[in-house]
Amino acid sequence: MNRGTVQDLSIYSNELQEDVQLLVYLPANYSPLYKYTVVIASDGKDYFQLGRAPRVADELLENKEIENIIFVGIPYKSVADRSRKYEPTGEQHEAYLRFLAHELAPFLDERYPTYQVGMGRALIGDSLAATVSLMAALKYPNIFGRVILQSPKVSDELLQKVTDFQSANSFTVYHVIGIGETAVKLTSGGTADFLQPNRELHELMKQKGFSIFYDEFDGDHTWKHWQPDLKRALVQNFGI
Domain 5-238: CATH architecture, name and number where available: 3-Layer(aba) Sandwich (3.40)
- The pLDDT confidence band at residue 1, using thresholds 50, 70 and 90, is confident
How would you list the strands of the sheet with 121-126, edge to edge? Answer: 5-13, 18-26, 69-74, 37-42, 121-126, 146-150, 172-178, 211-217
Q: What is the crossing angle of helices 53-62 and 223-238, to 10°?
A: 40
Q: What is the mean pLDDT of residues 114-129?
A: 97
The chain-wide mean pLDDT, for the chain, equals 96
The pLDDT of residue 188: 78
* Strands 121-126 and 37-42, sheet pairing: parallel
Structure confidence by residue, pLDDT tens digits, 162-208? 999 999 899 999 999 999 999 999 887 889 999 999 999 999 999 99
The pLDDT of residue 186: 87
User: What is the pTM (predicted TM-score) of this model?
Assistant: 0.96
Q: Report which of 238, 227, 240, 237 is spatially closest to residue 54, judged by C-alpha positions.
A: 227
